[in-house]
Structure 1
Amino acid sequence: MPHSGLLLFLPGQTVDRLVILMLALGLDWLIGDVPAVFSYVPHPVVLIGRAIALFDRRLNREQRSARARRIRGVVTLIALVAMAALVGVALSFVAVRMAPWGGALELLVVAILVAQRSLYDHVARVMRALDQDGLIAGRVAVSHIVGRDPASLDAHGVARAGIESLAENFSDGVVAPVLFYLLAGLPGLIVYKTVNTLDSMIGHKTPRHLAFGWASARFDDLLNLIPARFAGVLVGTAALFVPHGAPIKALRTMLRDAGKHRSPNAGWPEAAMAGALDLALAGPRRYGDITVTDPWMGDGRARATVADMRAALRVFQAACLIQVLVLGVAALALAA
């Protein structure tokens, strides 16, 4: 198989990249994050996080002015994006030199950096804890995937939090990495994962990170504009294949309510999920001592249940499968 190339989405390289991507998505679904391996060596996202933490400690000092911290935040973004691109180019170069085994190396990197199985497992763990062990266990499980105060959540709040996390992270954990890999190969994929990790670590509007993380948060918003909307469409389409799913309502709710979310992107898959399952998501939430009074997305039930979490996971599975089928059709069309 000719290699998929180092950088841009070019017609002569597209089929190979699509094939690698489909195989990587299948491998990720089968094996997930392979904790037995990453208990001995750090996961690439952990390495990215360590680099971000280093820049945060060295450059984001409290005695500096907001302007100085913002400038240093821009420097951090540029430096880490440049390093991520260089790592991606180096891996692509190694893969080319390893022919015919280079495709396998690239496939493995993509499978590790696309988080569809790990996202499913994390949310399913919350569902099982809530269903089998009760509210306290559900709160503990959900605290690993959301930032809100778990003690403020009742059983319905835990279920909603799990569903919201599933929908939002479908966009930035699955759809966006896939699109950036298709657009720019391994450099595009690694750059995206770096920016997304920057946003998750320093992109918060807290006193410490409001200035320093400003550039990273805005750049992450920019990169996710198209993936988030595509993710919403996939969620709405997936509702066709779920018992009692409402695909038309999902798309209508997405178009009507996505803008209610404080994020320019997260509302698209979340609103689609709300409409697909006849739920109301988002709404007031508590983060530590701060209560966020966001409006509801969707006009269904706010009292989400374990059954709704199970349905959301089915929507997620169907959306992942639809994405793979779309990639397969594209590969066949381009190969014809």
Structure 2
Amino acid sequence: MLVHGDALLLVVAALLLDAVIGDPDWLWRRAPHPVVWIGNGIGRLERRLNPESWSRRQRKLAGVITVIVLVSFAMLVGGVLADLLNDNWIGFAIEALIASTLIAQRSLYQHVARVRRAFTEGGLPAARQAVAMIVGRDPERLDEAGVARAAIESTAENFSDGIVAPVFWLALLGLPGLIAYKAINTADSMIGHRSTLYIDFGWAAARLDDLVNLIPARLSGLLVAIVAPIVRGSIVASLRIMMRDASRHRSPNAGWPESAMAGALGIAIAGPRVYAEGAVNDPYLNAEGRAAALDDIGRALRVFVTACVLQAAIYAALALLL
């Protein structure tokens, strides 16, 4: 399926619904979120196809089969829903509402803003608890700069894989593409680890996640750089740092939006950090930048919101032209 006006209108409608409604707690306390359904399916496949008694080669093959089954089923569900809902404006509205549940603009903003508010209301201990909800590193090892840096990195990375990437695949392949993307991304977060249990079984999920985020990650960095002036940053400096430092990140994709954000804010992010499984001694992105501070979380959120608005405006313009 090629990008066309109807798909782009669906993108714009889903973005607007997500911005206004987000993920209401009252709803998801009563019904499982679609990502929960996806996660439950992955869990069932993992329990059946990743026994410790199997060889590494068997586990890797089982992981490939798991990803094929997962993506095929996601595409099938998305295709059935799209066919059922494409006849009238009510169906279009329902399809847009379904799509909006798989985009994370409002929820990401709320989670990161909660870290900033916790700093103000409860100091560093409260901020550590809040940031632990969005990053995997050990919060007790974080000082004020570390908490701010973690929140900003999460904002940049999740702008890519929680917003730009799902929207990209929605525009390109419609609802089947969006659901398949979320299935791949969820699989990567659940089994795409380097632990003994998942290094082989999760190999296919991790590699496919890298592939489907390849273009969106670079688009994310570009959007962040373009809106840098909203925080008195430089577009040129942000682009320069992104092009220079993105490859220094351990992920082939996360470095693009993160280094662009570092350049836009004039701060150093990434670098050495401690996770539950151990320490990571990564280089800094924009190493010449200053240390992150509490105020930089608010600045990162302004960049994030403006980049989201720019993305929606681009898709709206394309919808009018195509």
Helix, strand or coil at the partner of 1:282: strand
In structure 1, the partner of 2:112 is 123
TM-score, normalised relative to structure 2: 0.97
Q: Deviations over 1:133-184 (max 9, x none)?
A: 1111111111111111111111110110010011001011000111101110
Aligned counterpart, 1:214: 203
Q: Which residue of 2 aligns with 1:24?
A: 14
Contact 2:246 2:256 survives alignment (8 Å)? yes
**CA shift for structure 1 position 72:** 0.8
Paired residue for 1:257, among 245, 251, 273? 245
1:76 paired residue among 34, 42, 66: 66
Q: Which moved more, 1:149-158 or 1:185-194?
A: 149-158
Q: How is 1:1-336 mapped onto 2 (pairs within 5 angstroms)?
A: 8-10=1-3, 14-97=4-87, 99-240=88-229, 242-301=230-289, 303-334=291-322
Kept in 1: contact 2:231–2:264 (CA 8 A): no
Distance 2:2 2:26 in 1: 34
Question: Shift of residue 243 of structure 1?
Answer: 3.0
2:279 is paired with a residue whose SS is strand
CA-atom RMSD, angstroms? Answer: 1.2
**How much has 1:300 moved relative to structure 2?**
4.1
Paired residues, number: 322
Take 1:123 and 1:278, find their aligned partners in 2: how far apart are those partners? 19
What code does the residue aligned with 1:82 have? S
Moved more, 85-94 or 99-108: 99-108
Kept in 1: contact 2:231–2:303 (CA 8 A): no
Opposite residue 202 of structure 1, the aligned amino acid is I
Alpha-carbon distance in 2 for matches of 1:75, 1:302: 46
Matched residue type, 2:44? L
Cα offset for 1:21?
A: 1.5
Q: Which residue pairs with 1:3 in the alignment?
A: none
The one-character-per-residue Cα deviations of 1:226-283 (angstroms, maximum 9, x if unpaired) are 000000000000112x132222111100000000000000000000000000011110
User: 1:284 & 1:122 partners in 2: Cα distance?
Assistant: 23
Q: TM-score, normalised by structure 1?
A: 0.93
Whether the aligned pair in 1 keeps the contact of 2:60 and 2:200 (CA below 8 Å) is yes
SS, match of residue 250 in structure 2: coil
Does the 8 A contact of 1:126 with 1:141 survive in 2? Answer: yes
The code of the aligned residue for 2:240 comes to R
Equivalent pair of 1:278/1:299 in contact (CA under 8 Å): no
Structure 2 portions without partners, runs of 5+: none
Question: What is the aligned-residue identity percentage?
Answer: 52
Alpha-carbon contact 1:177-1:189 (below 8 Å) kept: yes
Please identify, of 123-132 and 38-47, the stretch whose mean Cα deviation from structure 2 is larger. Answer: 123-132
**AA matched with 1:81:** V
The whole-number CA distance in structure 2 between the counterparts of 1:228 and 1:96 is 30
| Distance in 2 between residues matched to 1:79 and 1:20, nearest whole Å | 27
Q: Distance in 1 between matches of 2:143 and 2:188?
A: 28
- The SS at the match of 2:196 is coil
Query: Structure 2 CA distance, aligned partners of 1:110 and 1:103?
Result: 10
Corresponding letter in the other structure for 2:52: E
1:167 maps to amino acid:
A
Residue range with higher mean Cα deviation, 20-29 or 278-287? 20-29
CA distance in 2, matches of 1:289, 1:213: 17
C-alpha contact 1:275 1:300 (8 A) present in aligned 2: no
How many Å separate the matches in 2 of 1:100 and 1:260? 47
Distance 1:302 1:59, change over 3 A: farther
Question: Secondary structure in 2 aligned to 1:61?
Answer: coil
Question: Is contact 1:234–1:323 with CA below 8 Å preserved after alignment?
Answer: yes
Shift of 1:303: 2.4
